Structures are given as structure tokens and as C-alpha cells.
A and B are shown apart, each in its own frame.
Chain A
Amino acid sequence: MKEVIEDMKKRIFLRITKRLQAVVPMFAVVAVAAVMILAAGADSASARVYIDINSPGLKRLPIAVVDFAGIAEGTELADIVRSDLDFTGLFAFINKSAYIESAGAPFSPENWRPLGIDAVVKGTAEAAADGTLSIVVSVYDVVESSNILKKKYSSRKDLIRPLAHRIADDIYEALTGQKPYFSSRIAFIGQDGDRKSIYLMDYDGQRAKKIVSRGDITMKPRWSPDSRKLYYSSLRGTRWGIYELDLDAATESKQYSSGATDLVGDITQDGTYMLFSSSGKGSPDIYRLHLGTKILTRITHSDNIEVSPSASPDGKLMVYVSDKSTVPQLYIMNMEGADSRRLTFEGSYNTTPEWSRAGDLIVFTGIVGGRFQVYTIKPNGSELRQLTDTGTNEEPSFSPDGRFITFTSDRDGAKGVYIMTVNGDGQKRISPRNIRAFGPSWSH
């Protein structure tokens, strides 16, 4: 998809966002910034500033997304953009039939103030003779009567969904100052018949497709920080190995195989190291492989099982699973294997940890009443929370911003990939019904 652009962010907005980011915890900034930007200059601004998006009393930003003018695809594009923004839980929508201003008419704040709308998204869509779509999107601030964003896009007609996600990404970033994620994808393991294959789908469950079908068994994949590569353990013949799939080049290469059981855990955020476990020396221990130099470093040296390492965002620590207490529990240690401390004490089976890329939270699978459930815990061991309780729920993975979690559940019968907020709200299945799906991993 090509795009050409002029990006018109207001200085005042940038100033406010920066100041907020410096002082407000990450999660709070999203909502505060979203509201602040548009409330700037308004008398009632102070009533909206102190919002905790994790509280049930969150005030959503009232926004209108008008069906794009021009061709029929304009409506579909606007629908997807609306759906993306709605997913965040940060925006409020009114029924579009209540809109006064038509798609083709120029923006006028007077048409929106009576509806209580603070931000308006408008666009035009054209199709060239070869089917190429050209889109122009504008975002307006009703309160300030100003244009926050104006951007042009062009795309092939059959790529309308990624195009719409791209537009929603830009709107979200312009309004919140946060890294957007509507173009993110979820990799998972799909099973049709006996065969397990790697699938990719958009974060909203659309466009699921099989991408790797080699090997007898393939395990939950992990993403490179640039989301261009996947790493996974796969059984080929009688040998486990860790493989890298380059999504741009569509090539697969073996990264490591000891001849025993090698299980990839994570790629550090700077893309330098692959963390994994290997039983090549007897019992499963944690290793790191420098992906550039291929230098291998063994991190743990024990006769216990040590598996599933996941790095902290700064790359200094990792959370991992060990049975050194006789049952699997989570531990945290540094990259050299020192300063190990036990993280989980509740329950007798805690596995599959993932450290949020956004910071201060770890998600994992525990057991209660003989069933797996998804939990979160702070890296200091506080605030243990059970997020699921229906059926069996496991293998959680954070969204890029840490506000959502994808996981495997069998609550509807066959296993499927689900998502929910980091608080456990809005649990819903997103993977296609016709595939047994599990082991989801959210791109960065």
C-alpha cells in the first residue's frame, strides 16, 4: 500500500501529549490525551482530564465517522474504521443516521456540536480505471473547529481491510499519541484433521489464512519486534528444531536444533536475542542465541525443568517456568541467570508466562478447580488477578499496547482463539469456527 501524506498535528496537542506522557502512567495517557486534545481551549476541559481508562466510569471521546463520499467502498471503509476505534473502548459513537452533515458537504462544527460530537472523521474514496482506490481522510476537532489530520492513501481494491486498518491507525495515533495496533495480526496454530499449521489473521479475526504447514507438530509461534518474522518450534521427522519464518521473503530457516527438545520462548524487544529452552544437555535449561552473531549462551544450569522464557520490555529480565519447587511456577531472573526469585505462590501449576511489551504486567496460565485459567500478576508479585472462569483458558498473549489479551479457550466446544481486555472484559471468540485454533501470539 502506498501512501503520500501531509500530516497536520496541532502543536498544542503535541505539547499536551508529551507533558502527559512524562507524568501519567502509560495506560492512563491514552484516554487523557484523547480527551485533552479536543478539549483544549474549552472551558469545561478540567472536567474531562482526570480519567482512568481502567475504571468503569471512563468517559469516552464522542466521535463520528461519516461514510466516505464517492464510491460504494467508502461505506465499507468507514465501517471498518468505526469498528477499529470502537474496539479500543476509548470512543463513543452515535447512530450514523443521526448525522446532520452529509459525506460530501464541507465540515462545519455547527453540525456536530448539537450532537455532542467532539471529533469527526470524513473521507472521500475514488476508484481509478485499474481498480486502484484513492482515499483522502480528514479528522476534525469540533471544539476548536480545526483539522487535526489530513492524509491520502492509495491501495488495491482487494486490500480494503488493511487499508481501513491503516486509516484507523493514523486516526488513533493522531488522537491519542499512542502507537496504533489495528494493523497488528495474530499468529496461531490451526488444526484441520491431524495436521497443525501456522495461521495468520488480522487482530479482528478477519482474513485468517494458513501460512506454514510443515512438520508433524508445530508449537505456538513468537513474533520478532518488527513483526516481520515468526519463530516457532516444530517437529520435523524425529527432531525438534526452532525455525524462523521471514514473512516478507516467505522463507523459513532453522535457527537451532540440539537433537533434544528445543522450545522458543521470546525475542528480546531490541531484536538481538532469541530466548529459548533446550534439553540438549539433559534437562531443559534456558539459553539465549544472539540472532546476529549466532553466539549461544546457556543461562540456567539445573536438573529441573526450565522453560518458556519471556523478556521484560527493557531486555534486562525474563520471566520463566521452573519446577524447582517440585511443581511448575513462575520465576524472574536477569539475562545472565542471576537474581532468580519466585513470582507465583498461588496454585500448583503456573505456566505460559508473557511479559507485557507495554510494561508492568505478566500474563500466564494457572489452574483452579482442575481447569486452566488466565491470570495477570505484577512483576513484583502483587495484584494477582484471575481473568477467565468459563471453560479452559490458556496460552495468553498481550496486544502491542498491553491493553488486550488474546488466548485459547474451549468454552464453546472446540478450541478457539479469543480476545479480552486486560481486565478480562469483552471476552469473545475471533478465530474462524471451522478451524480448531490455539496458541495465539499477537504481533508487535
Chain B
Amino acid sequence: MKYLMLLVMLLALVVSGCATTDVAVPDDGKKGKDTVKKSDGRDDVIKVDRDKIREGALSEDQIRAQMASLFKDIRFGYNRYDVPEEEKANLRKIADWLLKNSNVSVLIEGHCDERGTNEYNLALGDQRAQSTKNYLVSLGIPANRLETISFGKEKPLCMEHSEECWSKNRRAHFVSSK
């Protein structure tokens, strides 16, 4: 239930913030603060306090905000569950953030598009979540901070019957399970 509520909140963030946020988390330890402009060029700036991160004192809201922007869905090919090359940079950023925020655990959800049968899609979603997890583990994240779950095609992000939509649904999705 907790996951579900988080998921709902994350989805709400994603939906409400669709036009937003290439927010970044600091990737070196020197600066006290990082500022990143939104991609749409507006001037509002999101500030992240590094010291607080180090102390693990990031508020849940902040964690949520950072995760919503950094933890992009990992998208997979049709019927595939190997992490695509073009997603690996994204996963490296996620791994960096997780290394710095060692109090955060993550639930990785595996999802599929509608073009599969229910049972096989649950297995496929399971493997998408697990291969995402395995890649993060290979980057040094302890496995016990990464849970996985498969939803198969049960919880699509996008409801239309088009490749554009299907590609969004073939995903590993991250939820904070702190």
C-alpha cells in the first residue's frame, strides 16, 4: 500500500510536471549547491543542499522530487529484457545518486506493453526489473537496496494502441521504498 501511494504521488509529479525538469543531483562533492535550469528555459531553479544529502536529511519531498526527475523509466525493446545501451548512461546517473543517498532503497517495477499474454508478460516484466537491478548492482549498489516486482501489462502508463505508447509501457519504473 505504501508503494502504491508513493507510486500515485510519483505519477502525479510526473504528470503535473510533464513540461519540466531536467533537475540534476550534484555529481561532485565540491560544490555546496547545485543549480540546474529547467529545460524549457524558465528561470526557476531547483536547489539541492548537498550537506543535507550527506546527512541523509533530505526530506521525503526532496527525495521524491529528485527521484521523479532523475529516475527516468528505463525503456526496453519489444519482447526484450536486456538493458539497452542507450539506457545505461541513465542507469549510471541513478547509481551515482543511490551511492550518495545510501538511506534510500528502491523498488524497481517491470512493465510490459499490451502486446503479450498476461502470464508471459509477468515473466517478461520480472526480467526487465531484474536486469535493471543487476545492472545497478554491477555499478556497486547493494542488492538489498533494490527490490523488484513485475506488473506485466497490468498497469500501463499510456493507454493508446500505438508504438509510441507501447514503447513508454515497456519499462522499468523506479519507486522509492525508503
Contact = CB atoms under 8 A, between A and B. Distances in A.
Interface of A: 216-217, 219-220, 233, 235, 237-238, 240, 260-261, 263, 277, 279, 282-284, 305, 307-308, 321, 323, 327-328, 349, 351-352, 365, 370, 372, 394-395, 438-439
Given A217-B151, A220-B118, A365-B117, A282 B130 contact: yes
Given A283-B130, A394-B117, A238 B107 contact: yes
A370 B162 CA distance: 12
A307 B119 contact: yes
B1 interface: yes
Contacts of B3: 237-238
A298 B119 CA distance: 19
B46 interface: no
Contacts of A217: 151-152, 154
Interface in B50-107: 79, 107
A328 B120 contact: yes
A283 B127 contact: yes
Contact of A260 (B107, B118, B126): B126
Given A238-B3, A261-B122, 4 more contacts: A217-B154, A220-B118, A284-B123, A328-B120
B17 to A, nearest CB: 24
B82 to A, nearest CB: 11
Contacts of A261: 122-123, 125-126, 149-150
A336 B125 CA distance: 27
A282 to B, nearest CB: 7
B147 A238 contact: yes
Nearest to A277: B123
A351 B116 CA distance: 9
B118 A305 contact: no
A20 to B, nearest CB: 39
Interface in B105-158: 107, 115-120, 122-127, 130, 147-152, 154
Name which of A219, A233, A284, A394 has the most chain B CB atoms within 10 A of its CB.
A284
15 contacts: A220-B118, A233-B122, A238-B107, A238-B147, A260-B126, A261-B125, A261-B149, A263-B122, A279-B123, A279-B127, A305-B123, A323-B79, A352-B119, A372-B117, A395-B117
A349 B78 CA distance: 12
Nearest to A216: B4
A394 B127 CA distance: 23
Given A238-B3, A238-B107, A327-B79, A349 B123 contact: no
B127 to A, nearest CB: 6
A266 B3 CA distance: 31
Interface string B148-178: 1111101000000000000000000000000
A351 B120 contact: yes
Nearest to B107: A238
A439 B118 contact: yes
Contacts of B125: 261
Contact of A219 (B115, B119, B126): B119
Interface of B: 1, 3-4, 79, 107, 115-120, 122-127, 130, 147-152, 154
Contacts of A327: 79
A308 B127 contact: no
A263 B123 contact: yes
Nearest to B81: A305
Closest 8 CB pairs of A and B: A261-B126, A284-B123, A351-B117, A351-B120, A307-B123, A305-B123, A261-B150, A279-B126
A240 B150 contact: yes
Contact of B118 (A219, A279, A349): A219
A305 B79 CA distance: 11
A351 B119 contact: yes
Nearest to A259: B147
A220 B119 contact: yes
A280 to B, nearest CB: 10
Given A238-B3, A261-B150, A327-B79, A284 B126 contact: yes
Given A261-B122, A263-B123, A279 B117 contact: no
A216 B1 CA distance: 10
Contacts of A282: 130
Contact of B149 (A238, A323, A351, A395): A238
A219 B120 CA distance: 11
A284 B127 contact: yes
A285 to B, nearest CB: 10
A114 B1 CA distance: 71
Contact of B1 (A237, A328, A352, A395): A237
A398 to B, nearest CB: 17
A327 B124 CA distance: 11
B84 to A, nearest CB: 16
A305 B119 contact: no
A213 B120 CA distance: 23
Contacts of B116: 349, 351
A423 to B, nearest CB: 23
Contacts of A308: 119-120
A261 B1 CA distance: 18
A207 to B, nearest CB: 25
B120 A305 contact: yes
Nearest to A303: B127
A305 B121 CA distance: 10
A348 to B, nearest CB: 8
Nearest to A308: B119
Contacts of A349: 79, 116
Given A220-B118, A351-B119, A305 B147 contact: no
A184 B22 CA distance: 58
A426 B176 CA distance: 51
